[in-house]
Amino acid sequence: MDIEVPSCSICLGSSDEQYLQYNLIVSGIILPIVGFIGLIGNFLVVIVYGSYESRKHSTNIYLAALAASDFCMICTALVLYVLEAWRHHSHQIIATMYGRSTQYTFPISTILQTTSVYFCVIAAADCFVRVVLSSKTKEAICTPRFAKITVLCITAISFAYNVPHFFELTSIICFDDRRNNSLSVQVCPTDLRTNVLYYQLYYTYMYTIFMAVGPLLIIVILNVFVVTAVFKKGASGNFYYYDTDTLSLILVVFMFIFCNSAALLVNFIEMVFAEKVFFISQFFIQI
Per-residue pLDDT of 226-279, as tens digits, reads 888 877 766 555 554 555 666 666 777 777 777 666 656 655 555 555 444 444
Q: What is the DSSP string of 5-49?
A: PPBGGGG-S---HHHHHHHIIIIIIIHHHHHHHHHHHHHHHHHHH
pLDDT (average), residues 73-77: 93
Mean predicted confidence (pLDDT) in 211-225: 87
Which residues lie closer than 8 Å to 95 by C-beta, 6 or more apart? Answer: 8, 87, 88, 176, 184, 185, 186
Confirm if 144 and 57 have CB atoms less than 8 A apart: yes
Q: Which CATH architecture has domain 8-286?
A: Up-down Bundle (1.20)
Counting other chains too, the contacts that 91-97 makes at CB distance below 8 Å and 24 or more residues apart are 92/176, 92/179, 92/182, 92/184, 95/8, 95/176, 95/184, 95/185, 95/186, 96/184, 96/185
Q: What is the pLDDT of residue 282?
A: 44
Q: What is the pLDDT of residue 276?
A: 45
Q: What is the pLDDT of residues 91-143, one digit of tens each?
A: 678 878 888 889 999 999 999 999 999 999 999 899 899 888 888 888 899 99
User: Please, what sign has the CA dihedral across residues 74, 254, 138, 245?
Assistant: positive
